[in-house]
């Protein structure tokens, strides 16, 4: 069931008046009002300000900020500030900083740099948050608590190493079980004492860099990733519980980062009241990929989410920080709402004077003027959202297709040494997602232990890791009439990255009705051909499974190389259902042909029959449907005929004629109309 803790669409974002003299605050209040801003996220990086020393707190300035915003009836998102530690803390307790993938203990600096298992850090964070909660929780303007900020980055210090051993004991019980899980006979890694186990960074079994980690022992690294995700989650829970101990009804979140690899967000979301995330597409990020990330964030709790951050215009930290074109921010915001957001918040409201984010876009630029293009676009959106009121809040995004997403699989797939360095989890899923996006078929992103029975089709490309119970769950789903699609690099390993013996795709072999005897890897300049039974041909590449049919029928065969004529794409009947297996990476046309068949078999229907390159999405609430019609194509497009004459809620005009690039329309209908 969809639900929302808000009474209006929060419109605002990160606000740092602490960086500015008081006269600027007055200007802010006037300008925010003009921009239709009704919410502010405060205190994100103010720990050094509100706790000037180990012995003292000083909330005087924060009191003033909270008072000012309360007086003006803002919905306040109160952050806990623990994303950046004060310098005095690091000086006095150097062990609070993290040790990175290269084994270097960090000094004071930057942010997001604490050791999650440092008891000193934990004590300071908890005490601070208790103080904040006692002081502010009773303020009715505080609608949401924002714990820390964008949790990320692991730690490989000795404290974490010790905590890892404790975590392992709890998971495995005995050292024998650990040795077995990690297959430590390989390269003579057998452990005889728990203390021999070390953190897998570049000084030990890890390889690569912090942001592109590789490993000699995926079993060890996978467990370490799980351990770090859990450790940071404990940090979050520590703060959450501190707030709860004062205010049992508080709404608590932390801002996530889409397909960020480091944390198992499905596990995290269970501990969060509402999911929030920060959306920073690059100038060349496909809109379908952004849509997929939104759907993932909605899928974490299967509920509407908060857009905690986006930039009104440019970023500063990407390679090329292009401006958002006129109308682009508005269109991006409606795309976000279309996929399940109940808030639109910016980083940030006023552009900072110094520090590395001074070129980061903001509602108010360095000119301080309301006469900027960006300000005016923000004000237009603010007025539109205000006129929508709360009628859309909590609306659901019904979907008949589920794409499986799993962080364990993400880690393991990208740790593999071979068969190709070009295997990227997000990219693989996106190829499938894009088809549904273009066909106007709504998609849910679903965890591997989710409820498959809700869906007519389950899409599971590169389901490399098949953990205990997963094959059985998929078999039950298909047996009962479900349609499944999977393919190369699926069913290969168990939860510890040890191969399921007996032939690929391991536990999925019976279900798929194929045996993949070998996997060929193709370099970017190489390709093969998919020959379909009807004579059509498409290119394929990346990997080519050499398949034997074991009950399945071939839909397409390879056209070239020594495996020419052997099956490449297959279809198998299993119980009342059907399983498609795609043995290579088809080009877009080839994948489209396969997924057309899948959609037909599964009886999956697009939101509308009319062909259009516009993005179409639909949310439903209380017997009403909200149809989003977005032109993200870059060129004018005719308005879909099926909406002709209906009213666009955003402008009050009738739908018709053409949509200019970045035009966004919103049509309300009675459910089932």
Interface size with ligand GLA, residues (CB under 6 A): 10
Question: What gap in Å lies between CA 548 and CA 545, rounded to an integer?
Answer: 10
Alpha helices per DSSP H over 498-553: 509-512
How far apart are CB 150 and ligand GLA at their closest, in Å?
5
Identify the three-state secondary structure at position 56: strand
Catalytic residue among 150, 161, 384, 625, which? 150
Tokens 């769950």 found at: 473
Known catalytic membership, residue 150 = yes
Q: Could you tell me if 280 and 311 are in contact, meaning their C-beta atoms sit under 8 angstroms apart?
A: yes
Identify the three-state secondary structure at position 447: coil
How far apart are CB 210 and ligand GLA at their closest, in Å?
17
Known catalytic membership, residue 517 = no
Residue 75 within binding range of ligand GLA, rule CB under 6 A: no
Cα–Cα distances (Å) from 462 to 342, 457, 491, in that order, read: 32, 16, 8
> Which one of 12-20, 152-160, 395-403, 474-482 is the stretch in contact with Zn ion (CB under 5 A)?
152-160
Residue 309 within binding range of ligand GLA, rule CB under 6 A: yes
Query: Nearest CA to 464 among 486, 430, 489?
Result: 489
Structure tokens at 41: 């996220």
**DSSP letter (8 states) at residue 360:** S
**DSSP letter (8 states) at residue 107:** -
Q: Which of 160, 403, 484, 598 binds Zn ion (CB under 5 A)?
A: 160
Q: Which residue, 237 or 376, has its beta carbon nearer to Zn ion?
A: 237
Question: What gap in Å lies between CA 446 and CA 426, rounded to an integer?
Answer: 14
Residue 155 within binding range of Zn ion, rule CB under 5 A: yes
> Which one of 309-317, 381-389, 479-487, 489-497 is the stretch in contact with ligand GLA (CB under 6 A)?
309-317
Site track 265-304 with ligand GLA (rule: CB under 6 A), x = hit: -------------x-x------------------------
How far apart are CB 115 and Zn ion at their closest, in Å?
3
Q: Which residue, 131 or 357, has its beta carbon nearer to ligand GLA?
A: 357
Q: Which residue, 351 or 440, has its beta carbon nearer to ligand GLA?
A: 351
Query: Nearest CA to 141 among 24, 42, 14?
Result: 42
Q: Which of 75, 150, 384, 400 binds ligand GLA (CB under 6 A)?
A: 150
Question: Please, what is the Cα angle at 103 between 97 and 107, to 5 degrees?
Answer: 30
Residue 149 within binding range of ligand GLA, rule CB under 6 A: yes
Q: Which residue is nearest to ligand GLA (CB)?
A: 278
Q: Note the residue count of the chain.
A: 673
**DSSP letter (8 states) at residue 470:** H
Residue 278 binding: pick among ligand GLA, Zn ion, none (C-beta 5-8 Å cut-off by kind): ligand GLA
Q: ω before 496 within 30° of 0 (cis)?
A: no
Residue 160 binding: pick among ligand GLA, Zn ion, none (C-beta 5-8 Å cut-off by kind): Zn ion
Within 93-132, which residues bind Zn ion (CB under 5 A)?
A: 115
Q: Which of 315, 409, 496, 578 binds ligand GLA (CB under 6 A)?
A: 315
Residue 259 within binding range of ligand GLA, rule CB under 6 A: no
Catalytic residue among 239, 309, 377, 646, which? 309
How far apart are CB 153 and Zn ion at their closest, in Å?
11
Q: What is the CA radius of gyration of the chain?
A: 26
Q: ω before 166 within 30° of 0 (cis)?
A: no
Question: What gap in Å lies between CA 224 and CA 239, rounded to an integer?
Answer: 23
Question: What gap in Å lies between CA 253 and CA 265, rounded to an integer?
Answer: 12
Residue 187 binding: pick among Zn ion, ligand GLA, none (C-beta 5-8 Å cut-off by kind): none
Tokens 């960006």 found at: 374
Q: Which of 74, 347, 405, 628 binds ligand GLA (CB under 6 A)?
A: 347
Q: Contact positions toward Zn ion, by CB under 5 A?
A: 115, 155, 157, 159-160
Q: Contact positions toward ligand GLA, by CB under 6 A?
A: 149-150, 278, 280, 309, 315, 317, 347, 357, 360
Catalytic residues: 150, 309
């Amino acid at each position: 069931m969809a639900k929302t803790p808000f009474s209006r669409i929060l419109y605002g974002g990160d606000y740092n008046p602490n960086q500015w003299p008081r006269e600027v605050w007055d200007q802010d209040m006037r300008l925010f009002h003009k921009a239709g801003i009704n919410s502010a996220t405060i205190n994100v990086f103010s720990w050094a300000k509100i706790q000037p020393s180990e012995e003292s707190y000083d909330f005087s300035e924060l009191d003033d900020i909270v008072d000012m915003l309360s007086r003006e009836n803002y919905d306040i998102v109160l952050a806990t500030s623990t994303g950046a530690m004060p310098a005095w803390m690091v000086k006095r307790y150097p062990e609070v900083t993290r040790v990175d993938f290269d084994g270097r203990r960090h000094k004071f600096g930057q942010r997001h740099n604490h050791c999650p298992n440092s008891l000193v850090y934990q004590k300071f964070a908890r005490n601070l948050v208790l103080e904040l909660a006692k002081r502010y929780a009773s303020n009715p303007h505080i609608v949401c608590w924002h714990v820390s900020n964008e949790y990320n980055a692991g730690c490989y210090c000795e404290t974490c190493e010790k905590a890892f051993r404790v975590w392992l004991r709890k998971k495995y019980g005995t050292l024998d079980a650990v040795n077995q899980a990690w297959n430590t006979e390989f390269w003579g890694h057998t452990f005889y004492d728990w203390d021999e186990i070390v953190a897998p960074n570049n000084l030990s079994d890890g390889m690569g860099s912090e942001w592109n980690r590789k490993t000699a022992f995926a079993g060890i690294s996978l467990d370490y990733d799980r351990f770090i995700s859990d450790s940071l989650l404990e940090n979050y829970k520590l703060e959450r519980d501190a707030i709860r101990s004062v205010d049992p009804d508080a709404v608590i979140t932390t801002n996530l980062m889409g397909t960020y690899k480091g944390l198992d967000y499905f596990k995290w979301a269970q501990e969060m009241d509402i999911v929030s995330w920060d959306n920073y597409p690059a100038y060349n990020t496909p809109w379908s990929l952004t849509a997929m990330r939104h759907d993932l964030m909605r899928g974490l709790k299967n509920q509407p989410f908060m857009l905690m951050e986006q930039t009104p215009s440019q970023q500063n930290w990407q390679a090329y920080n292009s401006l958002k074109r006129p109308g682009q921010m508005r269109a991006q915001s409606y795309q976000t709402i279309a996929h399940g957001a109940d808030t639109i918040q910016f980083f940030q409201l006023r552009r900072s004077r110094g520090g590395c984010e001074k070129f980061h876009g903001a509602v108010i630029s360095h000119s301080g003027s309301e006469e900027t293009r960006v300000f005016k676009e923000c004000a237009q959106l603010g007025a539109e959202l205000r006129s929508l009121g709360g009628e859309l809040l909590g609306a659901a995004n019904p979907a008949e297709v589920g794409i499986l997403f799993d962080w364990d699989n993400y880690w393991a797939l990208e740790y593999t040494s071979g068969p190709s360095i070009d295997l990227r989890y997000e990219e693989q899923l996106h190829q499938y997602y894009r088809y549904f996006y273009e066909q106007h078929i709504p998609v849910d992103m679903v965890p591997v232990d989710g409820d498959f029975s809700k869906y007519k089709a389950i899409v599971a490309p590169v389901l490399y890791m098949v953990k205990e119970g997963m094959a059985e769950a998929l078999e039950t789903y298909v047996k009962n009439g479900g349609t499944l699609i999977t393919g190369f690099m699926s069913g290969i390993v168990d939860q510890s990255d040890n191969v399921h013996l007996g032939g690929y795709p391991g536990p999925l072999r019976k279900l798929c009705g194929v045996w993949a005897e070998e996997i060929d890897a193709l370099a970017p300049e190489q390709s093969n051909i998919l020959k379909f039974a009807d004579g059509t041909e498409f290119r394929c590449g990346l990997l080519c499974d050499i398949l034997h049919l074991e009950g399945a029928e071939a839909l397409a065969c390879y056209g070239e190389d020594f495996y020419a004529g052997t099956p490449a794409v297959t279809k198998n009947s299993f119980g009342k259902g059907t399983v498609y297996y795609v043995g290579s990476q088809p080009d877009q046309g080839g994948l489209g042909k396969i997924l057309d068949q899948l959609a037909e078999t599964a009886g999956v229907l697009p939101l509308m029959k009319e062909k259009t390159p516009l993005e179409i999405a639909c949310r439903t609430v209380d017997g009403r449907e909200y149809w989003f019609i977005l032109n993200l194509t870059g060129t004018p497009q005719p308005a879909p005929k099926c909406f002709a004459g209906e009213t666009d809620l955003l402008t009050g005009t009738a739908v018709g004629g053409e949509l200019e690039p970045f035009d966004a329309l919103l049509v309300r209908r009675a459910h089932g109309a």
